[in-house]
Structure 1
């Protein structure tokens, strides 16, 4: 088992995890988290304990990073718990109308707070709209001219 003092170098503490039994890892979990280990998976316990040791030594994630990760998780899960909205910095201001002509037809897209409107239908991405318009896979930002040009000097 690891020494109780915080003077043991981090690398030594991390290396010690490999030599511990699952029972010892669970004791270490209780010491570092103040709760019972959630399972008996050796790899899970080692990885999470290693992160916790480093977190306690060097500090955890910043508040803005934690908020960003929480918001991204909400977006992936399809539910919105937090008040912030993750948006691509390439998106124009809400309400902006994007126009693109394709095969002689003009298409107008309106930027919404949480997506895009095209022909009265809401889309999560410009790529989905571009694919519907063209029938092929497109990068939506490129299709609607929102990517920065690398040749501009």
Structure 2
């Protein structure tokens, strides 16, 4: 008789494991300190790692293909790769903000932003040009709630 696979039971147990125990499992499975992310993140990464060790990870050609696709999206720029794609407005989007009675219109381009006919790499640079002070461009244009990010 075939013995049952213990992996599904290990995965199910993650939901009821205490956070300190999840962090210890992280240390055991990744040989690093756990990141300061929420519990759900720890559970999902641990679940993947448990399966990866038991059944094998992605094939090397799959990893290479994913890396190539990622580079096509962000040009190999590590900063850009950290920005969630679903947070960046689609090229062609117009961001409108009134500042001191004047309507400011920014157009999202494939490689940055355009304001008053000039190209900018960041919204913060545009916000600084408009206000003369340092601003988080995402907050200035209402794309990020400053209170929620704090």
TM-score by length of 1: 0.46
Asked which structure has the greater CA Rg, the reply is 1
